[in-house]
Structure 1
Amino acid sequence: MLVIQNDFKTIQFAVYFTDLDEDETRVYRFLLPRLLTSHTNQLINKTLMSEKLEDLYGAYFKSRVERIGNFSVVSIILTIVDPLIVDDKTLLSQATELFNQVLYDHDAFDKDLFLEEKRMIIEQWETLPDKKRLYAQTKFYEHFFKGDAYGIPLSGTLNDIKKLTLQKLESYYKNVFLKNTKKFVINGRITKDELIELQNNFDHDLELKHPFITSFRDPRDVLVVKEETQMKQAILKLGYHFPVFIADQHYHAAVLLDTILGGYPES
């Protein structure tokens, strides 16, 4: 467990589930965080979950799915107010209990919530051409990363989503997801006694189960893709890449170059 000691007004509990990025599991990993944070065995619907978070002084969850090298990383973060501010000595333990429930307390997922989330994702895909900027970005990634994992949406394809069943999702959660490498991070003001209690409550993995691999494809010929649609402005997407990773000495220079080329309106 990594503890970052900061005297912020909040404390954050974060967990990172890491596994290989694979075609057949993307749709599961995209949908799971939405269901995990919406209900548990005790908090059986969104209303009860919202009420519980409100009882914890407006605590809230955030989740994210990322592709890093050959890994898929699902992060779930719970943010609470610093217990010292509200003078509540039970807040930290209540938050810890809720965080564990969200991660592990799911004998089954609510079918109606599953169908609702699935419907919304399908609707987002089917209405994509109407969202000009998002459509342009999606097509850009599709062409620029053609043949690479990064060219496939984190949600999986529309066909993957339509074929998804509740039974398959539950099976993946119990048999695969919970066995992922898990890294816990606590960010905030934590005492030594509280740290000991937190370490006893969270199952933290020290090593990745698979090696971290990064690779670059060979350079390709310049590809120009033009599409016409009815809108009042043009969208130009420029793509380039070079073999620099976050641990390389040129990483910050690469970030600066990227910002200069396209990070600001005046670029």
Structure 2
Amino acid sequence: MNLENANASLETSFQNTIATVQFGHPASNSFPRQLLDRLTAEINLLSRNENVSVIILKSEGNRVFCSGASFDELLQVENEEQGTEFFSGFAHLLNAMRNCNKLIIGRVQGKAVGGGVGIISACDYVFATLLSDVKLSELAIGIGPFVIEPAVSRKIGKTAMAEMTLAPDQWKSAKWAFEKGLYSVLCDAANLDLEVNDFAQKLSSYNPEALFEMKKIIWEGTEQWESILIERAKITGKLVLSDFARKALIQFKK
């Protein structure tokens, strides 16, 4: 196991019918491919768990929710096949969240970049703090938010998605994200866990069959994502091999 994967963490805890999944990585909660696969598998496993009615998705630490793809692994991509394989990890995760039989509550304690914004977008209900600014930085590193775009656009609309994408060096405030619909609730950091847990408890007290039917309604019209997100992964996998992307990734790492 390489150092990136050795330092990655994924833990699931249970309280009654609520499952809390926490991911983490020392590099600002970024995602090496193996961690993406582990989270995808965990979401699929919980989807089949009849003793679970609600999932809380959170990350380690206080300042960053998720910084997206691992730059170290992106620099290791040597051909289009490897590039497609890496970005398919995000495609599989978003589809797992979309297809999950349980409602997913996002707990966002800090900033999110790129793929992190996509993961937030794939949650069904999101609590965030005033520190939870967002950015789509992909164009600045020679690629684009192609895989996560359907999820982001579904939440905030094409116009707001384009506003973020075409200004890849600019942070959008948590308040902006709340007003656009990315976040369901904006609260003080001190109250985040209390509000998330209270909401999860209430949600889990409702009829599981009704929650399941509601989940299907929420995601109506997204059936084509199974193929669309993989096609987008191919586009990104090709672009990450460009000289522009290579130079930009190295510069970002510095």
Larger Rg belongs to: 1
Higher RCO, Cα 8 Å, sep 6+: 1
TM-score of the pair, normalised by structure 1? 0.25
Specify which structure has the higher proportion of helix: 2
TM-score of the pair, normalised by structure 2? 0.26
